[in-house]
């Protein structure tokens, strides 16, 4: 596909394709954001610790739609949504834990300005509203699904974009953050699914 | 334009002094002005390996036709990702006029007098058709041997 989802990370920002290829990287939420691959690699480093009180957060992740399909396509209506809060499978050979006490928030505001995520490495990211990345946020898995998608907006706030003449970001920046409460269970939560959908005038 | 990952493509019948003239995604984009002269539109499978479904609608006078291909990318992959469509071919009609309708976000066109039809293509290659109407269009399906023909008709 000429359109992919990229993750922006570090101070630059640097960018990495997380949806393309035979084995997409996907989105990993961590308590780290720097100018290295550790920011996005899908491994067990920099987990979010279970809080003894209050909440712990991942560093806010910034994603966007990117296209390198030149001179042909017109894009519109980018959206993000989820497959809902997944149940623990039965049987559960991987020992996944339920999403009780765990949430993924999406920033209600999207924009065209990148800001590196802040926080204390290996402890907690700065909560996205507190960092000033958005004025408010919404529980993505509990709220947005195929029947109720969140509109993301195109770069620059236009109604449609394209055909483009050079590879570029086509959507606004979307920010996601994992948040844990004291009722969460230690371990890996059941894998959740998050999608982005967009229209192409065919 | 037809991409190598497309499973279906559109055709449109346009007014002609000839008996019938059809244009298609092979040589045109649906944002081109000639597409807005179409009086019949179809979405057809590219090969026999594509989901064998055809979507077809006459375009009544005073209506605007919209064609979109919606693509779904995965941010975070859980088990249900294999059970949702990867591509959605969208055919829509709405009464009224829009300047440059190929650039109009379909989300900004309320369903007041028209229909929206979706041919959803799943990762395993099978397809499902979804149809929503303001009430004055109906969907009928006919089996054409190896293929199902979905006709959307004004009533």
Chain A residues within an 8 Å CB radius of B109: none
* Alpha-carbon gap: B9 to the closest alpha carbon of chain A (Å): 8
CB A199 within 8 A of CB B106: yes
Q: In A, which residues are within 8 Å of B36 by CB distance?
A: none
Predicted pLDDT at A57: 98
DSSP code string of B55-117: EEEE--TTEEEEEEEEEEEEEE--GGGGGS-SEEEEEEEEES--SSGGGS-GGGS--SSEEEE
∠ Cα B84 B90 B91 (to 5°): 150
How is the beta sheet containing B127-133 ordered, strand by strand?
A: A150-151, A75-82, A194-201, B63-76, B87-95, B114-121, B127-133
Indicate the length of chain A as a whole number.
Answer: 202
Q: Would the CB atoms of A197 and B70 count as touching at under 8 Å?
A: yes
Cα separation of A56 and A54, whole Å?
7
Task: Compute the average pLDDT of residues A74-85.
Answer: 97
Q: Is the pLDDT of residue A10 over 70?
A: yes
By CB atoms closer than 10 A (0-12, 13-18, 19+), residue B125 is exposed
What is the number of residues in chain B?
A: 155
Q: Choose among A27, A74, A146: nearest Cβ to B76.
A: A27
Q: Parallel, antiparallel, or unpaired for β B53-58 and B148-154?
A: parallel
Chain B residue closest in CA terms to A74:
B103
Residue A172 has pLDDT above 80, yes or no: yes
Instruction: Determine whether the interchain pair B70/A200 forms a contact, defined as Cβ–Cβ distance below 8 Å.
Output: yes
ipTM > 0.90 (yes/no) = yes
pLDDT tens, residue by residue, B33-86: 999 999 999 999 999 999 999 999 999 999 999 999 999 999 999 988 889 999
pTM: 0.95
Each residue's pLDDT tens digit, A85-139: 999 999 999 999 999 999 999 999 999 999 999 999 999 999 999 999 999 999 9
Indicate whether B14 pLDDT > 80.
yes
CA nearest A3 in B: which residue? B73
Over range B8-18, report the average pLDDT.
92
Delimit the domains of chain B by residue range. 8-154
Tell which B residues from 110 to 139 touch A, by Cβ distance under 8 Å.
Answer: none
| DSSP one-letter string for A105-163 | EEES--BS------EETTTEEPPTTTTTS-S-EEEHHHH-BTTBPEE--BGGG-S-B--
A24–B74 C-beta distance less than 8 A: yes
Q: List A residues 31-70 in contact with B (Cβ-Cβ < 8 A).
A: 63, 65
B10 touches chain A (CB under 8 A): yes
For residue B18, pLDDT over 80 is answered with no
Share of chain A above pLDDT 70, in %: 100
User: Residue B80: what pLDDT?
Assistant: 86
Tell me whether B30 touches chain A (CB under 8 Å): yes
Nearest to B102 among A5, A198, A201 (CB): A201
Per the CB < 8 A criterion, the answer to whether A28 and A145 are in contact is no
Whether residue A77 lies within 8 A of chain B, CB to CB, comes out as yes
Q: Supply the pLDDT for residue B16.
A: 87
Give me A14's structure tokens. 């640097």
Looking at residue A22, its pLDDT comes to: 87
Q: How far apart are CA A123 and CA B99, in angstroms?
A: 53
B1 pLDDT band (50/70/90 cuts)?
confident
Query: Alpha-carbon distance B72 to B86, whole Å?
Result: 5
For residues A17 and A113, what is the distance between their CA atoms, to the nearest angstrom?
Answer: 19
Q: Give percent of chain A with pLDDT exceeding 90.
A: 96
C-beta atoms of A65 and B73 within 8 A: yes
Average pLDDT of the residues of chain B: 95
Q: Does B67 touch chain A (CB under 8 A)?
A: yes
Which of B82, B23, B50 is closest to B147 using CA atoms? B50
Residues 6+ apart with CB under 8 A from B136: B113, B154, B155
CA A158 to chain CA centroid, Å, is 22
Confidence of residue A1 (pLDDT cuts 50, 70, 90): low
Supply the Cα-derived Rg of chain B in whole angstroms. Answer: 16
- Cα(A61)–Cα(A40) distance, rounded to whole angstroms? 9
The pLDDT mean for chain A works out to: 96
pLDDT tens digits along B100-135: 999 999 999 999 999 999 999 999 999 999 999 999
CA distance B86 to chain A (A): 9
């Amino acid at each position: 596909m000429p359109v992919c989802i990229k993750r922006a990370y570090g101070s630059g920002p640097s960018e990495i394709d997380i949806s393309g290829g035979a084995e997409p990287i996907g989105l990993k939420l961590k308590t780290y954001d720097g100018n290295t691959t550790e920011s996005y690699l899908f491994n067990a480093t920099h987990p979010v610790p279970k809080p003894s009180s209050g909440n712990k957060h991942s560093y806010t992740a910034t994603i966007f739609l990117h296209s390198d399909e030149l001179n042909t396509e017109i894009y519109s209506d980018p959206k993000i949504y989820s497959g809902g809060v997944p149940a623990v499978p039965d049987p559960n050979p991987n020992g996944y834990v339920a999403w009780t006490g765990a949430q993924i928030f999406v920033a209600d505001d999207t924009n065209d300005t990148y800001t590196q995520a802040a926080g204390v490495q290996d402890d907690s990211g700065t909560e996205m509203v507190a960092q000033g990345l958005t004025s408010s946020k919404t529980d993505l898995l509990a709220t947005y699904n195929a029947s109720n998608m969140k509109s993301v907006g195109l770069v620059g706030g236009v109604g449609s974009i394209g055909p483009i003449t050079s590879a570029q970001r086509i959507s606004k920046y979307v920010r996601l953050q994992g948040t844990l409460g004291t009722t969460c269970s230690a371990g890996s939560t059941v894998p959740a699914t998050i999608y982005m959908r967009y229209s192409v005038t065919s | 334009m037809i991409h190598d990952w497309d499973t279906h493509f559109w055709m449109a019948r346009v007014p002609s002094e000839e008996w019938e003239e059809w244009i298609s995604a092979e040589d045109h984009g649906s944002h081109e002005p000639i597409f807005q002269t179409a009086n019949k539109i179809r979405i057809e499978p590219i090969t026999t390996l594509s989901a064998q479904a055809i979507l077809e609608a006459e375009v009544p006078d005073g209506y605007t036709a919209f064609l979109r291909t919606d693509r779904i990318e995965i941010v975070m992959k859980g088990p249900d990702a294999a059970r949702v469509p990867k591509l959605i071919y969208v055919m829509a009609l709405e009464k009224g006029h829009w300047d440059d309708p190929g650039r109009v976000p379909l989300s900004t066109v309320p369903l007041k007098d028209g229909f929206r039809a979706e041919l959803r293509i799943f990762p395993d290659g099978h397809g499902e058709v979804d149809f929503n109407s303001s009430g004055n269009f109906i969907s009928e399906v006919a089996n054409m041997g190896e293929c199902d023909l979905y006709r959307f008709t004004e009533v």
